[in-house]
Structure 1
Amino acid sequence: MQPPNGLYADADGVKYHYLDLGTGSDTIFLHGGGPGCTGWSDFGPVAPRFAADRRCLIVDILQYGKSEKCRISGPMWDFHAKKTVALMDTLGVDKADFVCNSWGGTIALCLAARYPDRVRSLVITGSMPVFYGPLAPLPENGHRGRAARDAYYGGEGPTREKMRRLITRLEWYDADRLPESTLDLRYEQSLDPEERELAAMSDSPRGEWQDLTQELGQVRAPALFIWGMHDAFLTPDYPLMLARMVQRGNLHVMDHVSHHLQEERPVAYHAVVTGFFNSLANPWVPA
């Protein structure tokens, strides 16, 4: 799980850290928003499989990992989408497939709506782009992730055992299979002084929350929502709704996983996503 050497790129006034692995179709990986998350912590277990025949750009999203801890003003998903497109411009990526978890998936959906010519396809896992659902109200009014972050950084502050409890309660289905290396990566990153400073503030440094109901209808790229049967944030009824809201939505529900499918079952995750990518070479388009 030790990450490869990373690279840095300037993009519209901010600095991104990313990993560049493999060759082939440009594929951008965007991670989730949990404490200590990075591109490598979320996608390290599955990245070598994709890198066998794809160029994998594994990004630390802004305010996480080694990317800039800039303050965000205005609508948050618009901000992230604009900066991600600027990163693509810097890296010479005209169009990409996006493979995303949670927070990163909402960024990608917004990007696909705002900049449709830059997105070839979307793979979305555990994201919450709208604030309602078939089982509304959503758990903790849709703020379960924020509540978990506040609890993790609150009280006595971050500890390794608090990180273990957070991951095994909200992100992994089988607590006994959580690798100690993954736990260490997340915990050590969560101690970053700038990340702790952001966590101690209100949500204002992260920008204004956006509901993407209107934007989802504008997403033209083929989208696969791949979900854990036991997702701790949103049951599979929710991504079924999302798959109907975009123009070309698909849904796959995987058993014995929660919120981080790509880490718990990387072989199965890669197989499903690769099958989706392969299907796009011979799409069935209704008349």
Structure 2
Amino acid sequence: MVTGELAHGWAGTESGPVTLVLHGGGPGCHATSDFAAVMAHRPERRWLWVDLPGYGASAPESDADAPPLTTAAHALDCLLTDIGVRNIDVLAQSLGGSVALRLAAERPNVFRRIVAIGSQPAAAPAHRTGSTRDPGLGARARAAYYGGSGPNLDKMRQMIAELEWYETNLVPEPMVRARHSAATTPTARTTATANRTGEDLGDHLAAVMAPTLVLWGRHDPFAGPDYAAAFADALPRGDLAVICRTAHHPQSERPEMVAALAEAFFTDRS
């Protein structure tokens, strides 16, 4: 279903607590590709999956000069208003986590609790000199996948192995093919080639009142656990969990672990 130009759908139990899932920003990412395995581990929840602008079945943003995170956050807010849900939990990967945090900073009644996996919403704090982050890695990965002779299965397989999974020999071939298919639609190509400037949320993090779990893969090449700790410290109610033997997509590589950590955080009464 598409409402307000954002594709979305439901999974799990109709009577369960509504839990939003938002995907990452890599080629071919969309909500069900990123979180199908996690949602399957928690069928008692009422999962609302949403494809952000320019991903999956959602149309790209028409204004290439608009700040991308704020624009996506406002589109998401419109969708949630149309559906009529508020005070919900959100489980989000990378780009999706940054979008959720941008919306939470502006509208504190939207999210009850947030789990942000591998998100990098702001530059590393200047006073945390040991913090490691590679802000240009995503752009280089997209250029490598779409550039040269164009996208193909080998490039997708290599990108997932190098950036998203720790156990590279266990990358499922069906996932490679599904991601490649989703990455080569006209919408995906438009999104990948859009010349959009980044958006730093450093000034907004202090306004995020929702308890937030920063969930990190120990071997995430985009930023290390030191960055994750600084990110969690910048949030008024931030916590941190690091999962060993994972990279940027622990929700795909170790979905049972991610599902258990998210469930424990969502049901925490402290």
TM-score (normalised: structure 2): 0.94
Alignment match, 1:17: 7
Alignment match, 1:153: 146
Residue deviations 1:221-256, cap 9 Å, x none? 000011011111110011111111111110000011
1:179-194 equivalences under 5 Å are 179-194=172-187
Q: Is 2:88–2:112's contact at 8 Å kept on the other side of the alignment?
A: yes
Query: Aligned equivalents of 1:276 and 1:244: distance in 2?
Result: 17
Alignment match, 1:255: 244
1:55-94 equivalences under 5 Å are 55-72=46-63, 73-94=65-86
1:1-287 equivalences under 5 Å are 7-9=1-3, 11=4, 15-22=5-12, 23=14, 24-50=16-42, 52-72=43-63, 73-133=65-125, 134=128, 135=130, 138-139=133-134, 142-203=135-196, 208-279=197-268, 282-283=269-270
Q: Give SS of 2:109's match.
A: helix
Report deviation, 1:82: 0.9
Query: Judging changes above 3 Å, is the alpha-carbon distance between structure 1 residues 223 and 198 closer, same or farther for their aligned structure 2 residues?
Result: closer
Report deviation, 1:70: 2.5
Report deviation, 1:199: 2.3
Q: Is 2:132–2:224's contact at 8 Å kept on the other side of the alignment?
A: no
Residue deviations 1:128-178, cap 9 Å, x none? 111225435632xx1101111111111100010000000100000011111
TM-score (normalised: structure 1): 0.88
Aligned-pair identity (%) = 36
Q: Give SS of 1:221's match.
A: coil
| Count of residue pairs the alignment pairs up | 264
Query: Aligned equivalents of 2:191 and 2:109: distance in 1?
Result: 33
Query: Aligned equivalents of 2:8 and 2:194: distance in 1?
Result: 26
Name which of structure 1's ranges 75-84 and 155-164 shifts more when overlaid on structure 2.
75-84
Q: Give SS of 1:117's match.
A: coil
Runs of 5+ consecutive residues of structure 2 not aligned to the other structure:
none
Code of the aligned partner of 1:227: W
Code of the aligned partner of 1:56: W
Code of the aligned partner of 1:196: R
Q: Give SS of 2:20's match.
A: strand
Q: Is 2:19–2:46's contact at 8 Å kept on the other side of the alignment?
A: yes
Query: Aligned equivalents of 1:194 and 1:49: distance in 2?
Result: 30
Code of the aligned partner of 1:110: R
Q: Is 2:132–2:226's contact at 8 Å kept on the other side of the alignment?
A: no
Q: Is 2:26–2:138's contact at 8 Å kept on the other side of the alignment?
A: yes
Query: Aligned equivalents of 1:160 and 1:111: distance in 2?
Result: 35
Report deviation, 1:81: 1.0
Report deviation, 1:57: 0.7
Q: Give SS of 1:19's match.
A: strand
Query: Aligned equivalents of 1:40 and 1:84: distance in 2?
Result: 17
RMSD: 1.4
Query: Aligned equivalents of 1:200 and 1:215: distance in 2?
Result: 28
Query: Aligned equivalents of 2:61 and 2:152: distance in 1?
Result: 25
Deviant stretches of 4+, over 4 Å: none
